[in-house]
């Protein structure tokens, strides 16, 4: 069976043709010298590492899993060696400040690397991926001493990082957490408590692990306003930056999971471990959102990764698998049966995967460019990009993971019974994908964030940032005969998006439950419209270049856009109905009537 191949041409299409990446970099304070030659070199070298080093470890890592022995976690065979090659190649430092040993490349380029490493082997990619968020948190909120102590080692990759939020009695509701931080005379804190579901919380791939931990000070107010943030290393660094004594924390066990077996998901026990305050007291959740927002976009990439991997596997299989004849007559008369790619329903499944995967890539990369400008745009006022990013982050996280899982399932379906067995790798892809809709905030939590906090609490202003962009696009193209098939339906949906928002907002004035009742359907509606906008833009480019030397590539884009508009986008019709159906059909049933 074919192994993963990095989709370099499609990545280049999104970066250069859709998003004008070279000009984007010129707008950034520290990236104005970045050009296509450099970016393509990163892509090519990254592709070699992904295809030759970590993709071959994906299945073996799933089968072996991580082992646990008295607090010691051993990763699957080959993982540690691959990580050392990753460090030797300078990959961990790519998008971090040169001040701490980084290369200073844009965060958006790091997202591309996250996609291709994650598609090659998601379990492996989580180890360096979680370090990235820890570094960003320290860069933005750490003291100079903390930056000097931890960042250079994290940037180099010899240390890795985690985020420690969840406890057994509280998942998303962090206001309930009980981990305590008791101040000591030397300025450090004694951390007491347990955290669960800590990905990469213990392993043998790096010499030290730097945990970013939420805990409560003794005098902290209740709820989320009483949470502080701490850096708690596995080994305490000495004054010269080398490893010192083992801190008082340990791995109590690793979880037995449905998927991502190659990544250790740990229970961590803090027994008076030495921690150091990051940011102001009781403002830990504010600081942690740096980590969480990075992780949410990273989780959106997971949906893209599993969609891409499933699509590649099922496309290769359906071109080779012979079964039945086409209803319109034999397509391969020299063979005993036709390849199943000729059958309409198989094409429905393949095109759904292609539309969601390539559309998801456009949305995620667009959000990554907004993050670049928010963080280091040279224009000064980057509030518009920040607002757009705030709106699109929950959409990208939830919608792309939902459709990524749908795509992974469709890939398995293309294989028929063969998809249900281990040898082909598609059942692993389904299992690995399922967690993406749960961690970093479930789809329901992302939906509440989108509709409740981002849209309604801003009185629709954040939504208008994006709907105005779509409106301008449609206005410019609605009378263009070649683009009318996209601009007309997109314009109608864009108007309806605002109308549905107003409907839910008015209903919520009488019953707050209306927000929760509509939230997930509203988020999915938002995702379908967002992808429709990007597919319209892709179709425009494809029409302009449909007679070029890459005719098939561009015609593939155009025809996928048409499929999306005609076969996928009509799902918004049902969602508009369910959004308007209200909360009563959910809330009127009494608990004992279930």
Cα separations in angstroms, 272 against 189, 193, 200, 269:
8, 8, 21, 9
3-state secondary structure of 131: helix
3-state secondary structure of 230: strand
The string of DSSP letters for 338-379 reads -BGGGSHHHHHHHHHHHHHHHHHHHHHHHHHHHHHHHHHBTT
Task: Please check whether residue 149 is in contact with residue 141, taking contact to mean a CB–CB distance below 8 angstroms.
Answer: no
Residue 493's H or E segment, with its range, is: helix 484-510
Annotated active-site residue in 115, 202, 440, 540:
440
Task: Please check whether residue 154 is in contact with residue 135, taking contact to mean a CB–CB distance below 8 angstroms.
Answer: yes
Task: Please check whether residue 252 is in contact with residue 268, taking contact to mean a CB–CB distance below 8 angstroms.
Answer: yes
Q: 544 Cβ partners below 8 Å, 6+ apart? A: none
Q: 180 Cβ partners below 8 Å, 6+ apart? A: 191, 192, 193, 215, 216, 218
Identify the CA nearest to 397 among candidates 430, 436, 434.
Answer: 436
3-state secondary structure of 494: helix
Report which DSSP code applies to 28: B
Whether 514 is catalytic is: no
Q: How far apart are CA 350 and CA 556, in angstroms?
A: 12
Cα 503 to the center of its chain, rounded Å: 30
Residue 115's H or E segment, with its range, is: helix 107-120
Query: How many alpha carbons lie under 13 Å from residue 387 in its C-beta half-sphere?
Result: 16
Cα separations in angstroms, 117 against 155, 292, 301, 308, 487:
18, 20, 10, 12, 35
Q: How far apart are CA 492 and CA 570, in angstroms?
A: 12
Pairing of strands 72-74, 243-246: unpaired
Cβ-in-10-Å burial (0-12, 13-18, 19+) of 459 comes to exposed
Q: How far apart are CA 268 and CA 201, in angstroms?
A: 7
Token pair in block for residue 288: 């942690």
Active site residues: 440
């Amino acid at each position: 069976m074919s192994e993963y191949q990095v989709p370099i041409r499609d990545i280049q299409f999104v970066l250069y043709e859709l998003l004008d990446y070279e000009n984007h970099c010129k707008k950034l304070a520290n990236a104005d010298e970045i050009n296509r030659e450099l970016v393509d070199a990163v892509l090519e070298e990254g592709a070699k590492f992904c295809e030759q080093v970590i993709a071959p470890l994906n299945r073996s890592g799933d089968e072996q899993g991580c082992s646990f022995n008295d607090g010691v976690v051993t990763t699957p065979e080959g993982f540690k060696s691959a990580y050392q090659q990753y460090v030797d190649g300078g990959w961990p430092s790519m998008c971090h400040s040169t001040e701490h040993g980084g290369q200073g490349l844009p965060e958006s380029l790091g997202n591309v690397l996250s996609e291709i490493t994650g598609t090659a082997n998601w379990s492996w990619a989580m180890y360096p991926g979680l370090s990235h968020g820890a570094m960003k948190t320290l860069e933005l909120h750490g003291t100079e001493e903390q930056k000097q102590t931890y960042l250079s080692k994290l940037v180099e990759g010899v240390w890795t990082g985690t985020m420690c939020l969840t406890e057994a009695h509280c998942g998303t509701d962090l206001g309930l957490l009980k981990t305590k931080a008791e101040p000591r005379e030397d300025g450090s804190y004694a951390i007491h408590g347990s955290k669960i579901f800590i990905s990469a919380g213990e392993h043998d791939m790096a010499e030290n692990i730097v945990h970013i931990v939420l805990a409560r000070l003794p005098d902290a107010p209740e709820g989320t306003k009483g949470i502080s943030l701490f850096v708690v290393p596995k080994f305490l660094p000495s004054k010269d930056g080398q490893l010192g004594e083992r801190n008082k924390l340990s791995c109590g066990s690793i979880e037995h999971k449905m998927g991502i077996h190659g990544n250790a998901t740990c229970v961590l026990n803090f027994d008076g471990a030495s921690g150091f305050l990051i940011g102001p007291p009781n403002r830990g959740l504010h600081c942690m959102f740096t980590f969480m927002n990075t992780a949410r976009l990273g989780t959106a990439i997971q949906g893209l990764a599993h969609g891409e991997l499933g699509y590649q596997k099922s496309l290769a299989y359906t071109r080779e698998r012979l079964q039945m004849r086409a209803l319109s007559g034999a397509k391969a008369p020299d063979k005993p049966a036709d390849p199943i790619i000729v059958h309409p329903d198989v094409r429905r499944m393949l095109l759904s995967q292609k539309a969601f995967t390539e559309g998801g890539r456009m949305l995620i990369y667009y959000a990554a460019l907004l993050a670049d400008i928010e963080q280091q745009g040279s224009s000064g006022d980057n509030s518009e990009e920040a607002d757009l990013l705030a709106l699109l982050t929950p959409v990208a996280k939830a919608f792309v993971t939902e459709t990524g899982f749908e795509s992974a399932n469709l890939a398995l379906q293309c294989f028929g019974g063969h998809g249900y067995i281990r040898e082909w790798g598609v059942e692993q892809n389904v299992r690995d994908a399922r967690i993406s809709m749960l961690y970093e905030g479930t789809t329901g939590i992302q939906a509440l964030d989108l509709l409740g906090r981002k849209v309604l609490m801003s009185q629709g202003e954040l939504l208008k940032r994006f709907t105005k962009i779509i409106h301008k696009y449609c206005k410019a193209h609605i009378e263009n005969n070649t683009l009318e098939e996209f601009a007309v339906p997109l314009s109608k949906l864009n108007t309806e998006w605002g109308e549905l928002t107003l409907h839910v907002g008015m209903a919520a004035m009488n019953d707050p439950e209306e927000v929760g009742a509509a939230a997930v359907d509203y988020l999915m509606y938002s995702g379908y419209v967002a992808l429709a906008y990007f597919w319209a833009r892709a179709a425009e480019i494809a029409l302009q270049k449909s007679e070029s030397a890459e005719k098939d590539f561009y015609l593939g884009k155009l025809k996928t856009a048409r499929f999306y508009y005609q076969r996928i986008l009509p799902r918004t019709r049902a969602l508009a109905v369910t959004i308007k159906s209200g909360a009563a059909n959910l809330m009127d049933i009494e608990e004992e009537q279930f």
